Amino acid sequence: MSSVYSKTKVATALIASSLFIAPVYGVASQYWHGDAEGISWYPNGKNLTYSESDPRVNPILTEHSRKMDQGMFKVGEHVYQAYGYALTSPVFIDGPTGVLIIDPPEDVDKAKETLAAFREYSDKPIVAIMYSHWHPDHYAGVRGYVTDEDVSSGRVKIIAHKTFLDTVIASSSGGDGPIIGARVDYSLGTLLDLGPEGRINGGLGPDFESEELTLIPPTDVFEQELELEIGGYKMHFQWVPSEASDEIIAWIPELKLLHAAEVIQGESFPNLHSIRGTKYREPERWFKGIDKIRKFPAEDMVLSHGRPVAGQEAVAEVLRTYRDGIQYVFDQTIRYMNKGYLPDELVQAVVLPEDLAKQPFLGDFYGGVKHSVRQIYVGQLGWFQGDPTFLDPLPNVAASKRYVALMGGRDKVFSAAEEATREGDHQWSSELLTHIIRLNTDDMDARNLKAKNLREIGFTLTNNNWRNWYMTSALELEGKLDYSKAIDLQAPDLVKVFPLAAIFESLRFRVDGERLAKDKTRIALGISISDANLDFALTLRNGIMEFADGKPAEADVHVTLDSGTLKQILEVSEGQAHSPALVMAPRDKLLAAIDSNNVKMLKGGKDAVAKFFSYIDLPNAEKFPITLK
């Protein structure tokens, strides 16, 4: 099969969109970046995105969908990238004696499909898997490739950074997982149907739909660098914190191949900040991390997202322009901050220069300059912008009540919003309607009109995270969201491999601190796992729960049980697929196990156990609004 992709629609897309491929990266008729030689492309005729022309979709975004045809790239003679199957494009390094897979995609079925596609080219055994970082689209499909027994027997290594598992735990059960999970659905469009008023593509890949998230813990972890021989190739793994704090890349010297993970995030401006919510991603650390991998004399580069790059000159150019784009936005934001600019002014002042903006890896499809600039301000200075009026402002609802009264009441504000909508001023109309909705979240006329405005704004956008949020919020306002498709960041297969210490410590995020402090209650609970030689101490006091490994010095109540009983208590029942956090506070199961004598009391009694857990909230299985606030 020819290495040149010659489908008519791609040729049309090339003419329509200068963002498809810049001349420096290769000729217009090929489906990858860089040199015309060295890469082959085998499409299968599928495309999971919405790629039709429609007035409700920005044509640049439509062309971006047409860059996501499904198939297999062959890079050189021994590297395969399954492209267009998932948000992440897993890479198969086909060594002389075995296969390394980099980044299982976000779903088991998607992983199985990519493996089946790869098996058309090689039947060698899988000997290692690399998780480039902790985001689910880089590990959650792992059981589509290997089993627990493959790993426990030593047949398969799983390579990751030393902080990988801790970060997965902290971002699912151990901290802000529930709110991040809710916001992921808005930013990635998982609650939307495919279509002109729904999801168009995933920005970095066709979609992020996932029905089964799984996890097998890493076997080989490292802090800075790791050298291993895998499948007959010597490989160098290196920590390059950037898009994620635990990001690692792979360099295979014999193949002159660089897998840059999400240090180069894909064919889009990088997500220096994710609007779903994330810790501050330091742009300066990111672009200096790219400088570290520029030292490798790579002749080919593959990524977790996006199409491969062929040729040493082209790889060097992508790395250079990508890091320059990040540095430009960071440096100029700081420059204008030092002139006293506030975020609303910064987003007008900091715009990518034309030569950078036209680069195919810096389009506005996933990350974006505007929301990155705002986060740089917050990351460097914090939320307070300097006007003490807003150190302790009126609460939103109280302020909206006064604004609506000042403007003459609900009906006048609504009429003004209708007029703004007719005039095409959808942003102003939405802002007016927000005040009305805050005062009465059941005002469906206001909600429906705001939904109309949000859609009209969304139709103009190319940034998928922004567009998806507008479209999902419109459905929320109309009361039409289907939560059955929600991503489950606390999936049972993930939770079951978490250390028990992490499971018990996560209870502290659900302590009713106000009631505990008011009652002046202090209870120290000891938990011993008899057949695993594990002891934990959980102490309630001063509105908090202190967790510690080991037996409590002065336990008020102490229980002991074996790991089999604990597993039954923690097990998620059928029908709880979207309230899996119940696994974290199984109060009723624990009390029942005490009654059946499967949990033995070493000190204190059942009433004390019940009192302890009465201060810990049961997880909220109900979905909460994001827009109606």
Only one residue has tokens 């037996």, namely 551
Q: How many residues does the chain have?
A: 629
Q: What is the CATH number assigned to the segment(s) 389-484?
A: 1.25.40.880
Does 114 score more than 90 pLDDT? yes
- Average pLDDT of the residues in 148-165: 97
- Average pLDDT of the residues in 297-314: 97
Which pLDDT band, with edges at 50, 70 and 90, does 586 fall under? low
Instruction: Tell me how far apart the alpha carbons of residues 145 and 123 are, in angstroms, rounded to a whole number.
Output: 13
Give the model's pLDDT for residue 501. 86
pLDDT tens-digit profile of 414-429? Answer: 999 999 999 999 999 9
Task: Tell me if 21 sits within 8 A of 14, measured CB to CB.
Answer: yes
Task: Tell me if 354 sits within 8 A of 22, measured CB to CB.
Answer: no
- The answer as to CATH 3.40.50.150 being correct for domain 499-614 is no
- Average pLDDT of the residues in 229-240: 98
Q: Bridge-partner residues for 83, per DSSP?
A: 71
- Average pLDDT of the residues in 184-208: 95
Three-state DSSP class for residue 76: coil
- CA dihedral defined by 48, 54, 58, 59, rounded to 10 degrees? 80
Instruction: Tell me how far apart the alpha carbons of residues 585 and 609 are, in angstroms, rounded to a whole number.
Output: 12
Does 353 score more than 90 pLDDT? yes
Which pLDDT band, with edges at 50, 70 and 90, does 174 fall under? low
Task: Tell me if 61 sits within 8 A of 189, measured CB to CB.
Answer: no
Q: What would the two tokens of residue 301 be?
A: 């580069």
Instruction: Tell me how far apart the alpha carbons of residues 281 and 267 are, in angstroms, rounded to a whole number.
Output: 19
Task: Tell me if 130 sits within 8 A of 160, measured CB to CB.
Answer: yes
For residue 92, the surrounding DSSP H or E stretch is strand 91-94
**Parallel, antiparallel or unpaired: strands 300-302 and 79-83:** unpaired
Give the model's pLDDT for residue 173. 59
For residue 250, the surrounding DSSP H or E stretch is strand 248-252
- Average pLDDT of the residues in 379-385: 95
Query: CA of 211: how far to CAs of 105, 484, 486, 495, 572, in Å?
Result: 12, 10, 9, 16, 16
**Parallel, antiparallel or unpaired: strands 91-94 and 79-83:** antiparallel
Does 20 score more than 50 pLDDT? no
- Average pLDDT of the residues in 69-95: 97
**Count of C-beta atoms within a 10 Å radius of residue 286:** 23
Q: Quick one: what percent of the chain has pLDDT higher than 90?
A: 77
Task: Tell me if 86 sits within 8 A of 101, measured CB to CB.
Answer: no
Give me the amino acid identity at 252: I
Instruction: Tell me how far apart the alpha carbons of residues 382 and 379 are, in angstroms, rounded to a whole number.
Output: 6
Task: Tell me if 190 sits within 8 A of 208, measured CB to CB.
Answer: yes
Q: Which CATH superfamily is domain 8-335 in?
A: Metallo-beta-lactamase domain (3.60.15.30)
Does 573 score more than 80 pLDDT? no
Instruction: Tell me how far apart the alpha carbons of residues 547 and 536 are, in angstroms, rounded to a whole number.
Output: 7
DSSP secondary structure, 465-519, as one string:
HHHHHHHHHHHHHHT---GGG---TT-HHHHTTS-HHHHHHGGGGGB-HHHHHHH
Instruction: Tell me how far apart the alpha carbons of residues 178 and 279 are, in angstroms, rounded to a whole number.
Output: 15
Give me the amino acid identity at 559: V
Residue 327: burial class (beta carbons within 10 Å; 0-12, 13-18, 19+): middle
Does 2 score more than 60 pLDDT? no
Instruction: Tell me how far apart the alpha carbons of residues 76 and 62 are, in angstroms, rounded to a whole number.
Output: 30
Does 551 score more than 90 pLDDT? no
Task: Tell me if 358 sits within 8 A of 60, measured CB to CB.
Answer: no
- Average pLDDT of the residues in 556-565: 90
Which of 23, 18, 43, 42 minimizes the C-alpha distance to 33? 23
Give me the amino acid identity at 224: Q
**Count of C-beta atoms within a 10 Å radius of residue 549:** 12
Task: Tell me if 425 sits within 8 A of 418, measured CB to CB.
Answer: no
Instruction: Tell me how far apart the alpha carbons of residues 576 and 109 are, in angstroms, rounded to a whole number.
Output: 21
Give the model's pLDDT for residue 313. 97
- DSSP alpha helix (H) spans, 215-311: 283-293
Residues of the chain with CATH 3.60.15.30: 8-335
Distance from chain centroid for Cα 165: 15
Q: What is the mean pLDDT of the chain?
A: 90
Per-residue DSSP letter, 16: H
Task: Tell me if 366 sits within 8 A of 464, measured CB to CB.
Answer: yes
Give the model's pLDDT for residue 505. 87
Task: Tell me if 546 sits within 8 A of 563, measured CB to CB.
Answer: no
Residue 518: burial class (beta carbons within 10 Å; 0-12, 13-18, 19+): exposed
Residues in contact with 7: Cβ distance below 8 Å, sequence separation at least 6, in sequence order: 43, 69
Instruction: Tell me how far apart the alpha carbons of residues 42 and 541 are, in angstroms, rounded to a whole number.
Output: 62
Instruction: Tell me how far apart the alpha carbons of residues 223 and 528 are, in angstroms, rounded to a whole number.
Output: 32
- CA dihedral defined by 409, 413, 418, 419, rounded to 10 degrees? 120
Query: CA of 388: how far to CAs of 374, 385, 391, in Å?
Result: 19, 8, 5
Q: Which residue has the higher pLDDT, 145 or 499?
A: 145
Give the model's pLDDT for residue 7. 30
Does 448 score more than 50 pLDDT? yes
Only one residue has tokens 């609460």, namely 395
